[in-house]
Amino acid sequence: MATGEEDAVADVLTTAFDRDPLAQWFFPDAAIRQAAYRQLFEQATRELAPGALVDVTDTLDAAAIWNPPGHVPSWTPPPNTTPAAATLFAALEASMPPPPFWYLEFLGARTSGSGGGSALMRSRLANSSGPIAFWTANEANLDFYQRFGCTLAGRADAPGIRAWWLTHRYGV
């Protein structure tokens, strides 16, 4: 991410995650969801972990945030969500694959199916220096990630939602 692209990255991710089942589960009201995710992604782009990578397409229509090995994901659900969100995050933490790994925190494209997310995954996997891991609560994403050689590594359940951990081993 070049200097000054933080707002564009936050815009892309806010748009992408507005369609996400987990975001809709957290915040059923669209206006509240968009405001909460805009705040989340503005913070995420401005407070990157040391060694984090932000990948964007040339047209800034897709973005990904990768945290380096040793980074511990946050297991705190977004503010003002239901108690079931804490259950989900606890289950995700308990089912996390063993570190170390590069952690794909967010991947999204302004338009679903545009190829931007695929381009970013191909690029990062081609330049990966170790295993990666991430989770998704969007079952439709499983096929997408498995096309890149990612495998299921765990599952987390909470009332009304399910999430899956996926991994990709470097050199595999």
Q: At a CB cut-off of 8 Å and minimum separation 6, what does 88 contact?
A: 77, 137, 156, 157, 158, 161, 163
Which CATH number goes with the domain that contains 11?
3.40.630.30
> Which domain range does residue 152 map to?
6-168
Q: How far apart are CA 39 and CA 95, in angstroms?
A: 27
Which pLDDT tens digit goes with each residue over 19-75?
A: 999 999 999 999 999 999 999 999 999 999 999 999 999 999 999 999 999 998 889
- 59 falls within a domain: yes
Q: How far apart are CA 157 and CA 47, in angstroms?
A: 29
**Does residue 80 register a pLDDT over 50?**
yes
Q: What is the mean pLDDT of residues 132-144?
A: 96
Count CA within 13 A, CB hemisphere, residue 99: 12
Tell me the chain's radius of gyration from C-alpha atoms.
Answer: 15
- 1 falls within a domain: no
* pTM over 0.85, yes/no: yes
Indicate the number of domains in the chain: 1
- 160 falls within a domain: yes
Q: How far apart are CA 149 and CA 169, in angstroms?
A: 9
- 15 falls within a domain: yes
Angle between helices 30-46 and 6-18 (to 10 degrees): 140
pLDDT of residue 82: 84
- 73 falls within a domain: yes
